[in-house]
Amino acid sequence: MQDFKGKTAVITGAASGIGEALAHEAANRGMNVVLADIEAPRLADVEAALRDKGAEVLSVVTDTSSKDAVFALADAAFERFGNVHFLANNAGVAGAKGGTAWSTDDAEWDWVMGVNWKGVRYGVQAFVPRMIEAGEEGAIVSTSSIMGLNTGTTSPYNISKHAVARFMEGLYYDLQMEAPKLQAILLCPGPIATEIVKSTRNRPDGVPVEEEGSLGHRGEVFHNWLQEEGMTPEEVSGMVFAAAEDGSFYVHTHPEYVTASFLRRVKGVTSEDKLPLPLPKDFIEG
């Protein structure tokens, strides 16, 4: 995708972090921007900031785990701007309490899989047929994670991000066969300085947390570490638009993490003893 000026971007999870940075990058490139997020007040702040830059903006408060809501978002975007050229399925949540394969609460599974995985699928279902019909160049980027390529324990986050990665690899082939003017992009961020660790702020009723109203010690430490050591969301958005320009599929913000963890996974899968490799001591949970 080479031309952005006057084209339309739709970004979910646009009220914070990576989505907010993608929205600014789109506006900086002269695109119309459709902002979608579940957090209305923050969404309004981002909308105001983009309008100050002179961008044409439409905000739609959207819960991406709802198929109806994502289809309503598509209706609103196509009605206002005629076509969509850049779709970022980016909204995501880290989860709440977690646990083992057998003990993680069903409500947490449903929440995390709903936002992180179904939200991506609904985005593709709602937008891609209409983007194909319009017959113009475009890109669909979905946000997975280094945890989407890595092996490890059964946190709903890790499983959801694996689903996104594999789904997008499939979309890449589907588009090559059926709609080569559209490009698939898989964003696999490592640590980024955002609010992701605090995503229980958006959890539905019934999802249990460790300590009501608090992240708990471990979460607070991880949040602070991300703010200090994480890459800025602006760097990430620059990488995503560069991938749209050069036709890349995988976008790795921290390739060193991916290579090490992915090779580890391959080694386990292909090992002679037919067992996953033991987890490293410093293994980072999703």
Ligand X SMILES: NC(=O)c1ccc[n+]([C@@H]2O[C@H](COP(=O)([O-])OP(=O)(O)OC[C@H]3O[C@@H](n4cnc5c(N)ncnc54)[C@H](O)[C@@H]3O)[C@@H](O)[C@H]2O)c1
Q: Which of 157, 172, 250, 257 is catalytic?
A: 157
When asked if residue 47 is in the footprint of ligand X (CB under 6 A), the reply is no
Closer by beta carbon to ligand X, 38 or else 128? 38
Q: Which of 1, 10, 11, 18 binds ligand X (CB under 6 A)?
A: 18
When asked if residue 17 is in the footprint of ligand X (CB under 6 A), the reply is yes
When asked if residue 194 is in the footprint of ligand X (CB under 6 A), the reply is yes
Q: Which of residues 138-167 bind ligand X (CB under 6 A)?
A: 143, 145
CB of 49 to ligand X, least distance (A): 14
When asked if residue 285 is in the footprint of ligand X (CB under 6 A), the reply is no
Q: Which of 39, 169, 210, 234 binds ligand X (CB under 6 A)?
A: 39
Closer by beta carbon to ligand X, 15 or else 55? 15
Q: Is 157 a catalytic residue?
A: yes
Q: What amino acid is encoded at 277 in this protein?
A: L
Q: What amino acid is encoded at 207 in this protein?
A: V
Q: Which among 87-95, 171-179, 212-220, 258-266 is the span making contact with ligand X, rule CB under 6 A?
A: 87-95
When asked if residue 237 is in the footprint of ligand X (CB under 6 A), the reply is no
Q: What amino acid is encoded at 214 in this protein?
A: S
Q: Which among 3-11, 167-175, 196-204, 214-222 is the span making contact with ligand X, rule CB under 6 A?
A: 196-204
Radius of gyration over alpha carbons of the chain, in Å?
A: 18
Q: Distance between CA atoms of 91 and 142, rounded to whole angstroms? A: 9
Site size with ligand X, rule: CB under 6 A: 31
Q: Which of 95, 123, 138, 189 binds ligand X (CB under 6 A)?
A: 189
What residues are annotated to the active site? 157
Site for ligand X, rule CB under 6 A: 12-13, 15-19, 37-39, 62-65, 90-93, 115, 143, 145, 189, 191-192, 194-196, 199, 202, 226, 230
